[in-house]
Amino acid sequence: MIIFSTNEVSKTYANHKALDKVSINVEQGSVFGLLGPNGAGKTTLIRIINQITAPDEGEIFFMGEKLRSEHVYSIGYLPEERGLYKKMKVGEQAIYLAELKGIKKVEAKKRLEYWFNRFDIYSWWNRKVEELSKGMQQKVQFITTILHEPKLLIFDEPFSGFDPINANLLKEEILALKNKGATIIFSTHNMESVEAICDSIALINKSKKILDGRVDEIKQRFKKHEFEIILPKEEDISNYIFEGTELIDKETNNNFQVSKLKIEEGRNAELLSRIIQNTDIISYKEILPTMNEIFIDTVSNE
Amino acid sequence: MSKTGIIIKREYFIRVRKKSFLIMTFLGPILIASLWIIPFFLAMNSETKSRVLVVDETLMEKEGVKSSLYLHKFKNNKELIFEYGYDIQEAQDKLSQGDYDAVLEIVSTTDMPPIKGFLFFSENEPSLSAQSEIQTQLSNILKDHVLTYDYGMSGEDLEWFNNPKIGFYSKDIRSGKDSYKEIKTFLAIISGICIYMFIFMFGAQVMKSVSEEKTSRIVEVLVSSIKPVQLLMGKIIAVGLVGLTQLLLWLVLSVVIIGGLKTISPQTFTEPQEENITINERVISVDKVGEMASDSSQVNQVIQGLFSINYTLVILMFIFYFLTGYLLYAALFGAVGALIDVDTDAQQFTLPITIPLIIAMVCFPIVINAPSGGVAFWLSMIPLTSPMVMMMRIPYGVPVWEIATSMGLIILFIIFCMWLAAKIYRTGILMYGKNITYKEIWKWFKYNN
């Protein structure tokens, strides 16, 4: 089921077109990656989703309805530029932000106690934000983003500013939220995290959407029919190559010969049966392109 | 609670709980109390010389020699110089021409001795020391006279000699109506400065608060929960309420402090007691000026002066211009706050809105001198200066149509400024790391958010 979608959304600022007929569809319960180089229009799209700005053209749907102001209660937003009131106490501030998302004070306090304990920052409740380390501030901000249990979460570069341990913690929390049924849109440059947690993506470049779909499907679409084959070191892959296969790389170490081949579509079996008649195959696998490669290829081919 | 309500609650309490609020709350009344005391000291310690024309209607001419009980009996001192005439009409003319600062009229009555009719006319309030000096001198003259001739007076009449009663009128002879200019000036300056300070202090607070939210980037989270306009309005309302709270506390504390000082040293606030004059005894009722000559000691005259001003109008107008002035500038300061980022030069944006405030302040003396003059008129019409300038004119009396026009103009202008501020605000708060120019702001009006 599609929980969120935009239909040909355009937005023009005084000088330039920030978004040009961008349509995306976000499946309920999925993690949706919004990718693109700096200045592509991601932030504009995110601000439109959060109703911070309105599009010039196009429609936006959320939970089957046109997006309207009450929907902010069902959306949580962690902006790229994080910030809290520096002079305000942590607990007080978290309650204030929760109240703005429509949660009663008592309920907010109860939920905050749970999350503060879980993130091990409860002892900081009465401290001012400026006394906290940057990582701790990030934790506080993450909690305030998810406290109202939004159906749709928007994370803009969530991993920036986190150390590896906390980044991992965050990743697990995001996946836990997904398992609880939340839908997550997240924008990032970090392609590793895309591979790790995204189900689908949309790639935006120069204000246009140039690619979208499920991650596994996109990888299939972009595969180059390249394979990695590992043979015992006495063997030489060159002996088995025929018309239609191309040796890209060959490397022999102490035990094995690792080679990279490009094989014409549908001729895998032919190659394998040739080898297998003479020797053992230690490993054989298709090399799918990484999201990073797809990203760079697609953007630079534009 | 509505979202704007939540904003107001936070913005209000965060300020009221600040130490600086507490400090200002206690410093303010001391300032107000000192402002209240200063005029009294000034009235007591006037150093300028006043020329007093004594018009003696009891003057008699016998064989070319003028004689009277009072002729040449008054002694000049550092404050008062006495001269003598006998035609009251001529004296009034001279007074209105400025040849003299005051006229002491000794009214001829059928009583013997002719002691019951003393009227003192002056353009401005006579100082307290001048009043008591004249009183003492009169008393001495009369005592001399009584010692020389025995009139067989009763005790009550004798009491007059110690306290001859004089009717003091600071009368605007040119226009023929009471002016009480000093009180009006005092009221005008106080209310003008009060509005000016309030706008500056609390307008700047709105600006600071907006730019803090922008530079800390929390604003992006806030506007994903609440409309920018609601956020700005909540802020403006909350800061305004803080100002009103402070004002209210000042009033309460000022009353307490002034009350306290009165019990500690009552002399400071009443007239000098050593002159043996008490306020209420100096009552005169002379037939000629019957209805005018009620309580006319200086303090009573101050009160009388306050009543002669349309007090209800002044209070209502003060509240109106206080609030509209604040709203107008708070909106503009809010917009400026949205333009300031960490390393932006705030000066280029604050200057255009502080200049009208400074112009109004610089023109205060011009307005006070000529409350109906051209400068005063135009500055009280232009919405950017009218809250201060119109407020200064009102104690002197302003035609209804002028007040109505000024009020209408400022309301229209507030609506315009709110619209303008909202437009600048919602774009400006999300412009990070970019030096915003006027050219760029102009472009913002061409597209919709």
Say yes or no: B130 and B94 in one domain. Answer: yes
Residue B209 structure tokens: 């608060």
Residue B262 pLDDT class (50, 70, 90 cuts): low
Domain ranges of chain A: 2-220, 224-301
**Residues of chain B found within 8 Å of residue A12, distances taken between Cβ atoms:** 447
Contact partners, residue B117, CB within 8 Å, separation at least 6: B105, B106, B107, B108, B109, B286, B288
The answer to whether B244 faces chain A, any CB pair under 8 Å, is: no
Does residue B277 or residue B68 have the better pLDDT? B68
Peptide bond into A232 cis (omega under 30): no
B394 with B424, same domain: the answer is yes
Residue B226 to residue A99, Cβ atoms within 8 A: no
Task: Flag whether B159 is in a domain.
Answer: yes
More confident residue, A139 or B445: A139
Q: What is the pLDDT of residue A110?
A: 93
Let me know: does A148 contact A140? Beta carbons within 8 Å.
no
Determine, yes or no, domain membership for B7: yes
pLDDT score for A299: 85
Instruction: Please indicate, yes or no, whether residues B405 and B436 belong to a single structural domain of this protein.
Output: yes
Is any Cβ of chain A less than 8 angstroms from the Cβ of B413? Answer: no
Its domain, for residue B135, covers 47-164
Average pLDDT score over residue span B55-72 = 73
Give the residue, A32 or A243, on which the prediction is more confident.
A32
The answer as to whether B273 is a domain residue is no
Q: How confident is the model at residue B44 (pLDDT cuts 50, 70, 90)?
A: low
Please report residues of B whose CB lies closer than 8 A to that of A94: none
Comparing CB atoms, the residue among B213, B225, B447 nearest residue A100 is B225
**Burial level of B253, CB count in 10 A (0-12/13-18/19+)?**
middle
Enumerate the residues of chain A whose CB falls inside 8 A of the CB of residue B7. 100
Provide φ and ψ at A290, rounded to 5°: -75, 160
**Same domain membership, residue B424 and residue B392:** yes
What percentage of chain A exceeds 70 in pLDDT?
A: 100
**CATH number among 3.40.109, 1.10.3210, 1.10.3470, 3.30.70, domain A224-301:** 3.30.70
Average of pLDDT values for B29-57?
68
For the stretch B327-355, pLDDT in tens is: 999 999 999 999 887 666 777 888 888 99
One domain for residues B85 and B22: no
The answer, yes or no, to whether residue B113 has pLDDT greater than 60, is: no
Q: CATH code at B130? A: 3.40.190.10
**Same domain, residue pair B241 and B359:** yes
Question: Which of B225, B226, B342 should be substituted to probe chain A, the one whose Cβ sees the most A Cβ atoms within 10 Å?
Answer: B225
Q: Which of B3, B208, B215, B220 to mutate to test the interface with A (most CBs of A within 10 A)?
A: B220
Q: pLDDT-based confidence at A154, cuts 50/70/90?
A: very high
Which pLDDT value is given to residue B311? 74
The alpha carbons of chain B give a radius of gyration, in whole angstroms, of 29
> Is 50 exceeded by the pLDDT of residue A156?
yes
- pLDDT tens string B102-112: 888 877 665 55
Residues 107-146, chain A, touching B (beta carbon < 8 A): 141, 144-145
- Nearest-CA neighbor of A198 among A61, A291, A78, A298? A291
pLDDT value of position B43: 54
Judge if B237 and B368 occupy the same domain.
yes
Mapped onto helix, strand or coil, the DSSP state of residue A206 is coil
Q: What is the mean pLDDT of residues B137-162?
A: 70
Locate all alpha helices (DSSP H) within chain A, ordered by sequence.
Answer: 42-49, 90-100, 105-118, 134-146, 164-179, 191-197, 215-221, 268-276, 291-301
Q: Does A82 reach chain B within 8 Å, measured CB to CB?
A: yes
pLDDT value of residue B298: 47
Judge whether B282 lies within some domain: no
- Of the candidates A203, A100, A191, A47, which has an alpha carbon nearest to the alpha carbon of residue B225? A100
> What are A185-229's pLDDT values in tens digits?
989 887 888 888 899 999 998 889 988 899 889 988 888 888 988
Which of B164, B196, B225 terminates a domain? The answer is: B164
- Measured in angstroms, the CA of A52 and the nearest CA of chain B are apart by 6
Report CB contact under 8 Å: A54, B217: no
Give the count of domains, chain B. Answer: 2
Whether residue B118 is contained in a domain is answered as yes
Query: Can you tell me whether residue B102 is helix, strand or coil?
Result: strand
When the pLDDT of each residue in chain B is averaged and rounded to a whole number, the result is 76
Verify that B33 and B86 share a domain, yes or no: no
Report the distance separating Cα A64 and Cα A1, nearest Å.
10
Q: Which of B164, B195, B214 is the last residue of a domain?
A: B164
The pTM assigned to this predicted structure is 0.72
Instruction: Indicate if the pLDDT at residue B219 is higher than 70.
Output: yes
Q: Quick one: average pLDDT of B429-445?
A: 77
Q: How far apart are CA B356 and CA B385, in angstroms?
A: 6
- Note whether B250 and B122 are same-domain residues: no
Q: Is B11 in the same domain as B58? A: no
Which pLDDT tens digit goes with each residue over B396-415? 888 889 999 999 999 999 99
Please say if the pLDDT value at position B318 is more than 60.
Answer: yes
Q: Which of A280, A277, A279, A232 is nearest to A259 (CA)?
A: A232
pLDDT at B385: 93
pLDDT at B234 (0 to 100): 94
Q: For chain B, what percent of residues have pLDDT higher than 70?
A: 71
Q: Both B9 and B75 in a single domain?
A: no
pLDDT for residue B344 = 65
Query: What fold, for A2-220?
Result: Rossmann fold (3.40.50)
Whether residue B126 is found in the same domain as residue B186: no
Q: Given a cut of 80, is residue B448 above it in pLDDT?
A: no
Query: Confidence class of residue A81 from pLDDT cuts 50, 70 and 90?
Result: confident
